[in-house]
A and B are shown apart, each in its own frame.
Chain A
């Protein structure tokens, strides 16, 4: 493979004499066997997988500091670090953790650094990162997680760019990257003898659990995120899933009587440890100099009074400020009596490492290495791997931008990532525990149940709209004369069907003026837009409850998001709709077959069943809502059956021309047709019984009575009116049930508002 670095700069792969360095020998052989052409395909695979994790279109940048976002792309070619070299870097990272832990304890405690003038008081106090209240009650441990950026300079030595102590990102991204390279670069990963990193989630989980206040049993840790708008949300959600912990947003938690509580379906449940992914500034809106209202009001009160433990502790952002970072060498001397193992970066030219380029194969690139450390009960653990940020031309290494990221492989040693005190063998057990699925039988935050409910509704509505557009579109394609059939009777019915699928009101003037064919195309486009809109809602809701969904579900959602963006761009209707219907069917199948039957699943299914019932009644109403010539009635009612996925069932059962009473039987009353109303009502009955919610159950019984009322009893002016009556009588309780679900289970108002005084 052609790769020619500048011989005047240190290169990770090639020595100045042109020979390939030790670690790279195996990898370059493996890369050669993969082939440069194939690397392009691996790159595409990696992009697709990142998409599936929601990362392709969500990740903004590594630290989210107001720098323009670039899409997250993973270089299939890793950055290699030899074990011996990694050991040095790990010792340096661990040393910085010890120094910074001492810095926090001092700045919020004795302040010897200030007293002796090592760090000027005014400079520290000028920074909003010094949180005055953090010193009131000092935590047992300030840092549970830390990250550090390092670069190798052109002369071959490693330098430090800076530490991340507030709410460091990187560990989750490194795991995410590895999960992808493990698939797209499986052979090279194995051949190079790469240290595994998967234990990180277990190490972190154990470190967090160890923070729990003494004397508590069955403690609960939650991951506190800023929500899907937070630049690092993908990492929050990924880590929560990997650790098997609840992903909570500010509104899910409430501080009362010095304790922190999770708002769960069953009431308030205590929380013992919070892995905060919100920065100091956003953690508690009551704090002076707080920003935004995504945090939890008074969470710092509970932390100061020992009701909950935060990891990292509140106030750790002070470790990142210039007043500390620029003097870290003196600080290390003053506080721990050590000299720093690595010197700070001072603008020197950087070394190069091979980066994949679609046009040129491998080219020399500049990379910033981020190492992640976890401080647990057994000491400081440095993850044997990490993430590399490939710098674009002109990027300063300290700016948090990345053109692409690299997975970092530590090679040439069989040891794990221990740096100082090791991680005991029990982490192997912890690892097994950490890969468990979230326990669906356990508590569910109200917000998650809310999101799952709307996910179910959006998925069903998307399916209804896609199927209606698919059926009507295909009918017109096959027989354009349908539009004018029976004086436009079919077309008007089809328009009504499409509008009901959109959830739009029926309008008597829908076909006024414009030619019918035009109106029909307009409604088809509007129905496709409904599909796109509902799929977007589905993907958005799903994003906030990722820990309840399987990885496969994530992939299907990623695909749906892509297909939908095509749907609104192009007119290629029928085929695209088929693709969407297949993905939606996959989603429904995953919900049935790959989801534990706990309260979370029930709310997902509750949403789906209510939506399906309402949509089905809407389609029946649309088909019979107007007087239609018998000629038009036949294709129209077939469309209704097909839109409800029941045409085949109908033909198998009745083997006759379609007749309204038989259609009503199949779609409304037949309790073995999974697309029928009676079937939905049975499922609703089960869910509400399981939730022990009689008020909801009563509404379902009302709908059941309406469904099975004798149609002959309500015939007044002909058959259509009687079906109308049925639709109205059955739909009312379903709409009420929807409102009741929201009011009973989700309607905790949780917008925090900050109030000033004078």
Chain B
């Protein structure tokens, strides 16, 4: 499958800022199942300094500096990617989740570096008692890892309501657990917390999903959103993805942008402006279009 992704972030600062700095994870990375055919990043106003590098997780990061008065910033990232949907990992010979946890703990050498950091209980993915409770009847003894992850995804999908009004990027997991609602970032964090609390290594994947318009209506520009899901590691399988927001494993209409321990590692855009106090506004539009 081929997709064209356009991610447009528009800030209005209210007044002229003297300096602005932006760190962006907006350019999709290549993966074993994803080829990035083309990318471009447009800036308005243009940058006074701009660099690209790979971060510690191998994601493509843009750093942008603007050092003249400017009262707005529009960052438009466009990419064309070819994605191959992997085989399902449920069924067939595979380790149990306990064996997977042992393998994570005992990993040495390059594997320890590749897998170990994603077993970390970060501030966004704490092992709260409610997290442990949620896993209790999912993490059954001897259950194969693929089935376990699938069951956990279904549990989150069933027990939690998707509610874009409820949370933002700074809503703590405890609130999400209390209210039983949230958005894709929250469900990804929740799933990571569940897996990591049980010694598994799982990463936060940020990217995009192609959506369908409501029945009978044409698709409108900018109505998609950036999306998030999880990648889980198991010995003999490697990394495989699961999308608890849509209870989809493997994810089928997804474009990977970047991955990290949690949202903070791969926030699409993080910026600081220096200038007078003013009321800012932010609007974000994402379009994912299927290409022939």
Contact = CB atoms under 8 A, between A and B. Distances in A.
A118 to B, nearest CB: 10
A402 B255 CA distance: 55
Contact of A288 (B49, B105, B264): B264
B287 to A, nearest CB: 14
B131 to A, nearest CB: 15
Given A258-B49, A289-B264, A758-B169, A133 B274 contact: no
A538 interface: no
A125 B120 contact: yes
Contacts of A286: 21, 23, 270-272
A480 to B, nearest CB: 51
Given A751-B277, A753-B280, A257 B21 contact: no
A114 B196 CA distance: 18
Contacts of A120: 105, 116
A117 B122 contact: no
Interface in A739-758: 748-758
20 contacts: A111-B113, A115-B109, A121-B112, A122-B120, A122-B196, A125-B119, A132-B56, A132-B265, A136-B56, A256-B48, A257-B65, A286-B21, A286-B271, A288-B265, A288-B270, A298-B21, A301-B65, A749-B275, A749-B276, A756-B282
A614 interface: no
A122 B199 CA distance: 9
Interface string A220-260: 00000000000000000000000000000000001111100
B35 interface: no
A10 to B, nearest CB: 41
Given A122-B117, A126-B122, A288-B270, A132 B21 contact: no
Contacts of A136: 53, 55-56
Interface size class of A (residues with CB under 8 A): 35 or more
A188 interface: no
B108 interface: yes
Contacts of A289: 123, 264
Given A289-B264, A298-B21, A755 B116 contact: no
Interface string A264-294: 0000000000000000000001101100010
A66 B280 CA distance: 32
A285 B270 CA distance: 10
A690 B106 CA distance: 71
Interface of B: 9, 11, 18-19, 21, 23-24, 48-49, 51, 53, 55-57, 63, 65, 67, 104-110, 112-113, 115-123, 169, 196, 201, 225-226, 261, 264-265, 267-277, 280, 282, 284
Given A297-B272, A752-B272, A755-B282, A121 B21 contact: no
A121 B117 CA distance: 5
Contact of A298 (B11, B65, B110): B65
A111 B275 CA distance: 41
Contacts of A757: 9, 24, 267-271, 282, 284
A255 B268 CA distance: 22
A276 to B, nearest CB: 17
B108 A117 contact: yes
B65 A133 contact: no
Residue from A120, A288, A758 whose CB has the most chain B CB atoms within 10 Å:
A758
B97 to A, nearest CB: 16
Contacts of B280: 753, 755
A122 B119 contact: yes
A116 interface: yes
Contact of B55 (A132, A258, A753, A755): A132
Given A257-B49, A755-B11, A115 B272 contact: no
A750 B273 CA distance: 9
A256 B19 CA distance: 9
Given A114-B113, A122-B116, A257-B65, 5 more contacts: A125-B122, A136-B56, A256-B67, A755-B272, A757-B271
B270 A749 contact: no
A621 to B, nearest CB: 35
A285 B55 CA distance: 17
A365 interface: no
Contact of B270 (A111, A748, A754): A754
B238 to A, nearest CB: 17
A136 B55 CA distance: 7
Nearest to A131: B56
Contacts of B19: 254, 256, 297
A445 to B, nearest CB: 15
Contact of B65 (A256, A293, A752): A256
B273 A752 contact: yes
A49 B30 CA distance: 63
Contacts of A254: 19, 274
A132 B284 CA distance: 27
A123 interface: yes
Contacts of B11: 755
Residue from A255, A256, A258, A756 whose CB has the most chain B CB atoms within 10 Å:
A756
Interface in A98-136: 111, 114-117, 120-126, 128, 132-133, 135-136
B35 to A, nearest CB: 26
A756 B269 contact: yes
Contact of B117 (A125, A257, A751): A125
B116 A114 contact: yes
A749 B274 contact: yes
B84 to A, nearest CB: 27
Contacts of B271: 286, 754-755, 757
Contacts of A754: 270-272
Contacts of B51: 301
A235 to B, nearest CB: 27
Nearest to B286: A758
Closest 7 CB pairs of A and B: A121-B116, A757-B269, A125-B117, A125-B120, A126-B120, A122-B119, A297-B272
A114 B272 contact: no
A285 B53 contact: no
A94 B11 CA distance: 50
B150 to A, nearest CB: 24
A225 to B, nearest CB: 18
B123 A751 contact: no
Nearest to B63: A301
A750 B274 contact: yes
A237 to B, nearest CB: 24
Interface string A523-538: 0000000000000000
Contact of B272 (A117, A124, A753): A753
A294 to B, nearest CB: 12
B274 A751 contact: yes
A117 B273 contact: no
Nearest to A135: B56
A710 to B, nearest CB: 45
Contacts of B116: 114, 120-122, 125
A431 to B, nearest CB: 38
B265 A758 contact: no
A758 B282 CA distance: 9
Interface string A31-64: 0000000000000000000000000000000000
A297 B284 contact: no
Contacts of A125: 116-120, 122, 261
A288 B24 CA distance: 12
Contact of B268 (A126, A135, A758): A758
Interface in A304-324: none
A269 to B, nearest CB: 16
Residue from A122, A136, A753, A757 whose CB has the most chain B CB atoms within 10 Å:
A757
A117 to B, nearest CB: 6
